[in-house]
Amino acid sequence: MSDLRELYQEVILDHRRQPRNFREMEEANRRLEGYNPLCGDRVTVYLQVKDDVVQDVSFQGMGCAISTASASMMTELLKGKKVEEAEVIFKHFQDLVTGKSDGSDGVGKLVVFAGVSEFPLRVKCAILPWHTLRGALKQQADAVTTE
Amino acid sequence: MSKAVKSLSRAAKPRLATPQHCVEEIRKDFPALHQTVRGGKPLVYLDNAATIQKPQAVLDAIQCFYSRDNSNVHRGLHELSERATKAYEGARETAQRFLGAADSRQIIFTRSTTEAINLVAQSYARTNLQAGDEIILSAMEHHSNIVPWQMVCEQVGAVLRVIPMNDAGELLMDEYDKLLNERTRFVSIVHLSNSLGTINPVQEIIRRAHARNVPVLVDGAQAVHHLVVDVNELDCDFYVFSGHKMYGPTGIGVLYGKTELLEAMPPYQGGGDMIRTVTFEKTTYAPLPYKFEAGTPNIAGAIGLAAALDYFGQFDREAIQAQEHELLAYTHERLAEIPGLRFIGTASEKAAIVSFVLEGIHPHDIGTILDMEGIAVRAGHHCTQPVMDRFGVPATVRASLALYTTREEIDKLVAGTRKVLEVLG
């Protein structure tokens, strides 16, 4: 059970049960859909970006516990951050979930996702909201997919 | 063929006279089953519809070929090549007998079910179909029995028509009748659905197609180790399956076809072994089955497949079916006790595959938690996205049974699924 709890940490379970910023944002000036065809996870990320700062960010969609919690915590963390900071956090987060770092580097609360690195097939679940966010920030036209 | 295989095929009495008693015996034949995973949990392998574990006899046959007879087929004058050719052609005859085909020339070795379907799509359908012609599939096809036909449709301007199914996952035969018309040129249908477990009434589907002179391909990837298949009795025009879902190795598949159809079809690929004579002006093709086997074939794969078919052949098929049926009923009964669990695929004619979802919990989370308990299931769309759409789910959890599945393993699946509820419920 201990390994299981390393992946499904209480914080992750909490965000899964009550996802934060889980809403459509009418005033969004960036939005993008992300899709993982392997498991059918879908997420739409909404952003309100002004002067290179993420004024507001929200998401909607359906997915597994890992992708839902990842999206939820991402929105909490990014509100008020500069666009370039979001990019830095993404890189750190990517390193964390792929096992290239231990999370001591600039991911803050997202360190709860460290357990994902033990499950290669679940890395995409954790990272889908982030890929979608990056696509939205770059004002990419086509939906993001993990494949 | 290897000694191991020979000795097995000579085994006179069918095993499995008293099914439950024998499962433990059967498990001894499968080395991969005896291991622990995820930090010491005994492996519970319930992903047999994705690929099945291999008995020692298959591993021995492959090892024996490479360590003793390895040589190319159909061309060498030396002893090793004779041995390799004999074993390879012997494998063809084994596959012929397994399917009940009249002639071994009707057995084409391919890489897989997928390649066999592509072969028929490109060689038969692309040659014979024209713009406006129709191909009928069912709503529960694997992507490998959808995409090759879509490609043909794009190439010749034909149209796909799909037999719908009811909420239990059973094909609506009345709707099939409505789809059959003067434009129908081909029907391609799965025998046993990989995501729902439904056994389709293929014999009736074939009969109705033949009433209009329409040929039928049956995708038997899942059917061959759960049902008794006899291509003559079915009267199918093509039957395809893969070695690796039939206790054999990956990379080998079988296409059975009616002789007159195969003979009229152009080659699928060009290369060595499929020719009679070659000049730069004109090439004449080899007769069946070689016309469809360009290049050095998967010799060891075919030999491994034959060993698998021989291994399987020692069992009483009716006893296997009865045992699987009982275990399937037990699986349904036990899983049904779990609150919020919904089965996807509840056809009255069903075999060895149980797909389900849990209210509010994503199948990937279920798959991961079961994996932590040492239980290997599949969580995903099982290459049947239209089926997922039909049932309004992104994915399902699928437990698929085999010869060697025990009641204790089903109990562990049930306990593991309850643990999912503890963690995420």
The pLDDT value recorded for residue B68 is 97
Beta strand residue intervals within A1-147, DSSP E: 30-36, 41-50, 53-62, 144-145
**pLDDT at residue B225 greater than cutoff 60:** yes
**B424 vs A8: CB contact, 8 Å cut-off?**
yes
Distance from CA of A38 to the nearest CA of B (A): 6
pLDDT at B263 over 90: yes
Contact A146, A124 (CB under 8 A): yes
Segment B257-286 shows an average pLDDT of 92
Residues in chain B with CB shorter than 8 Å from the CB of A146 are none
Q: Do A40 and B381 touch (CB under 8 A)?
A: yes
Work out the average pLDDT over B383-402: 93
Give the dihedral of Cα atoms B200, B310, B352, B402; nearest 10 deg: -160
Cα of B385 vs its chain's centroid, Å: 18
Structure-token pair, residue B310: 């021989």
Say how far apart CA A93 and CA A108 lie, in whole Å: 10
What confidence score (pLDDT) does residue B1 get?
Answer: 38
Please compute the mean of the pLDDT values over residues B91-109 and round it to a whole number.
98
DSSP code per residue over B367-388 = HHHHHHTTEE-EEE-TT-HHHH
pLDDT-derived band at A6 (thresholds 50, 70, 90) equals confident
Check if B383 is active-site.
yes
Contacts of residue A43 in chain B, CB cutoff 8 Å?
A: none
Q: What is the pLDDT of residue B15?
A: 60
Per-residue model confidence as pLDDT tens digits over A110-122: 999 999 998 888 9
Do β-strands B353-358 and B341-343 pair in parallel, antiparallel, or remain unpaired?
A: antiparallel
What average pLDDT does the segment B7-34 reach?
70
Q: How large is the average pLDDT for residues B76-87? A: 93
Q: Report how far apart, in Å, the C-alpha atoms of B148 and of each of B51, B188, B267 are.
A: 22, 11, 17
User: Do the beta carbons of residue A52 and residue A82 sit within 8 Å?
Assistant: yes
Element housing B128 (H / E): helix B126-128
Searching chain A, which residue's CA lies closest to the CA of residue B394? A40
For B148-177, what is each residue's pLDDT tens digit? Answer: 999 999 999 999 999 999 999 999 999 999
pLDDT at B333 over 90: yes
Residue B249 distance to chain A (closest CA, Å): 24
Rounded to whole angstroms, the Cα distance separating A120 from B49 reads: 22
Q: What average pLDDT does range A49-63 have in this prediction?
A: 94
The rounded distance, in Å, linking the Cα atoms of B85 and B238 is 25
Mean of the pLDDT values across residues B251-270?
Answer: 97
Q: How confident is the model at residue A5 (pLDDT cuts 50, 70, 90)?
A: confident
B395/A39 touch (CB, cutoff 8 Å), yes or no:
yes
C-alpha to C-alpha distance for B133 and B180, rounded to whole angstroms: 11
Cα–Cα distances in angstroms (integers) from residue A22 to residues A57, B97, B176, B425, in the given order: 9, 60, 44, 20
- Give the pLDDT score at B4: 37
Q: A31 pLDDT exceeds 60?
A: yes
Q: Which of B337, B342, B406, B329 is nearest to B375 (CA)?
A: B406
Cβ–Cβ gap A122/B364 under 8 Å:
yes
Residue of B231 and B74 predicted with greater confidence: B231
Structure tokens given for B50: 């994705």
Q: Is B405 left (phi over 0), alpha (psi -120 to 50) or beta?
A: beta
Partners of residue B393 in chain A, C-beta under 8 Å: 40
pLDDT of residue A4: 82
Rounded mean pLDDT, A3-9: 85
What pLDDT does B131 receive?
Answer: 98
Mean pLDDT, residues A62-80 taken together: 94
Q: Which domains does chain B have, with CATH numbers?
A: 66-313 (3.40.640.10), 316-424 (3.90.1150.10)
pLDDT at B275: 86
Q: How confident is the model at residue A103 (pLDDT cuts 50, 70, 90)?
A: confident
Rounded to 5°, angle at Cα B177 from B355 and B137: 45
Residue type, position B127, single letter: T
Nearest neighbour of B362 by CB, restricted to A13, A65, A119: A65
pLDDT at residue B9 greater than cutoff 50 = no
B→A contacts (Cβ < 8 Å), by residue, are 38-39, 361-365, 368-369, 372, 379-381, 385, 388, 393-395, 423-424
Q: Which residues of B touch A40 (CB under 8 A)?
A: 380-381, 388, 393-395
Rounded CA-CA distance B254/B72 in Å is 20
Please tell me the predicted confidence (pLDDT) of residue B381: 87
Instruction: Please give the structure tokens belonging to residue B333.
Output: 């009964």
High-pLDDT (> 90) share of chain B, %: 87
Size of interface A-B (CB pairs under 8 A): 54
φ/ψ (deg, to 5) at B121: -60, -45
pLDDT in tens, B274-306: 888 898 888 899 999 999 999 999 999 999 999
The model's confidence at residue B16, banded by pLDDT at 50, 70 and 90, is: low
**What local confidence, expressed as pLDDT, does residue A2 receive?**
53
For residues B302 and B385, the model is more confident at B302
Does position B269 have pLDDT exceeding 90, yes or no? yes
Residues A60 and A63: their CA atoms lie apart, in Å, by 10
> Which of B361, B365, B397, B421 to mutate against chain A (most A CBs within 10 Å)?
B365
Q: Provide the shortest C-alpha distance from residue A64 to chain B (in Å).
A: 5
User: Which ipTM was obtained for this model?
Assistant: 0.87
Confidence of residue B317 (pLDDT cuts 50, 70, 90): confident
pLDDT at A140 > cutoff 80: no
pLDDT for res A53:
95
Query: Quick one: B40 exposed, middle or buried, by C-beta within 10 A (0-12, 13-18, 19+)?
Result: exposed
What is the rounded CA–CA span in Å between residue B140 and residue A1?
A: 37
Listing DSSP states for B186-239 in one string gives EEEEESB-TTT-BBP-HHHHHHHHHTTT--EEEE-TTTTTTS---HHHHT-SEE
Which domains does chain A show, CATH number per domain?
Answer: 2-145 (3.90.1010.10)
Distance CA(B407)–CA(B9), nearest Å, equals 29
Confidence of residue B21 (pLDDT cuts 50, 70, 90): low
Q: How do beta strands A144-145 and B216-219 pair?
A: unpaired
Model confidence band, residue A26 (pLDDT cutoffs 50, 70, 90): very high
Strands, E, within A37-138: which ranges? Answer: 41-50, 53-62
Residue of A nearest to B378 (CA): A39
Contacts of A8 in chain B (CB under 8 A): 365, 369, 423-424
